[in-house]
Copies of this chain bind each other. A is one copy, B any other.
């Protein structure tokens, strides 16, 4: 399949890199290659610096539409003026469209969906809401049999970063905003993020798909986080809540209501543990009950993941032509690794006789197998036994098993139990 990409900014570059880096896997999955024939941008250097030959660069949509071999166009320009014109022209010219353009879809999803249908081409926009999180796909496919009742989303990474740090560090809004700007988590002009407009656009798109009715951005009431103070957060914590900016859309007695509001979320609610710049969408449907989808809501890589997923899905649909044969998972024969070859942190609990030199003996057994101990707690237990709780540094499962085998040979060891420790991630 030949495609063209409109725009050569961050997301476009991420998408191009993904299609290059994961080329083999994509060919195996689809049974064909996705080839970038044209990249349109104002600046040729941006395109050429990615290693494309001169003829891939183009400066007008006409050049792309003139190439009959290009069946799918990826719109990554953003905005609602040029992008709207390009997409409508491309749809009318019978080209499938994949876009990450939240602003555009939040205003014109119904018109553009209808235009796509009239021209019998696909229009997909998974990346327009919550970046890399699989959201519109599951909503329209796996969850398609449900009546969706409500959606509560943390849909803006900047505001979630700010609220997380106000809560964690006890800092005030302006201090955290400044930090966020320095770290690149907030724009120099953060108005559309902190005021709730960005989240409102995503709510409009979600509401339209979940409730099968037209909801556009101006129809979503929105408020932001700029008035939240330390006093609010202190009070919320005392009462068992965490502050979040929630995008909400619900169907109530056949009517749909959509809004973005700062909200107090009970500490035990899954949304309460969505921190830093992460996004999450919590939905309630009948009969699936509660589902939460969590991940990175922005960034070149996560957004490119959704853009490429849409391209592949269209590719698959075009090739299928009513047959199932092409839709198989592909299987290769990869070697299976035994768990003994893995490297983990471990927790080890040992029940041992409470007498001299036992501790030294146990520590020695770990040392003999090159396992170093990060922390150790000894608790006395009844009947002359002591219980030792140990956290290790990284060690192979083989070393751990050898250590346990070694320990079990000793008459003063009664019992050894282990768990793996999941490493903390940034």
Contacts and interface: CB of A to CB of B under 8 A. Distances in A.
Contacts of A310: 142
Contacts of A318: 322
B420 A231 contact: no
A39 B60 CA distance: 58
Interface string A258-279: 1101111110111111110010
Contacts of A285: 305
A175 B120 CA distance: 61
B121 A324 contact: yes
A368 to B, nearest CB: 23
A110 to B, nearest CB: 5
A251 B347 contact: no
A331 to B, nearest CB: 5
A274 B241 CA distance: 17
Interface string A222-265: 00000111011001101101010010101110111111011111
A421 B142 CA distance: 30
A425 B290 contact: yes
Interface residues of A, number: 147
Interface in A275-303: 275, 278, 280, 285-296, 299-302
A152 to B, nearest CB: 7
A212 interface: yes
Given A141-B309, A145-B309, A232-B347, 7 more contacts: A21-B287, A141-B312, A231-B387, A255-B336, A256-B337, A288-B301, A289-B299
26 contacts: A17-B287, A21-B147, A22-B286, A114-B331, A122-B324, A126-B142, A137-B138, A137-B142, A138-B138, A141-B312, A142-B309, A142-B310, A232-B389, A235-B347, A238-B377, A256-B334, A257-B336, A262-B420, A270-B273, A270-B278, A285-B305, A286-B301, A287-B300, A292-B292, A292-B293, A322-B322
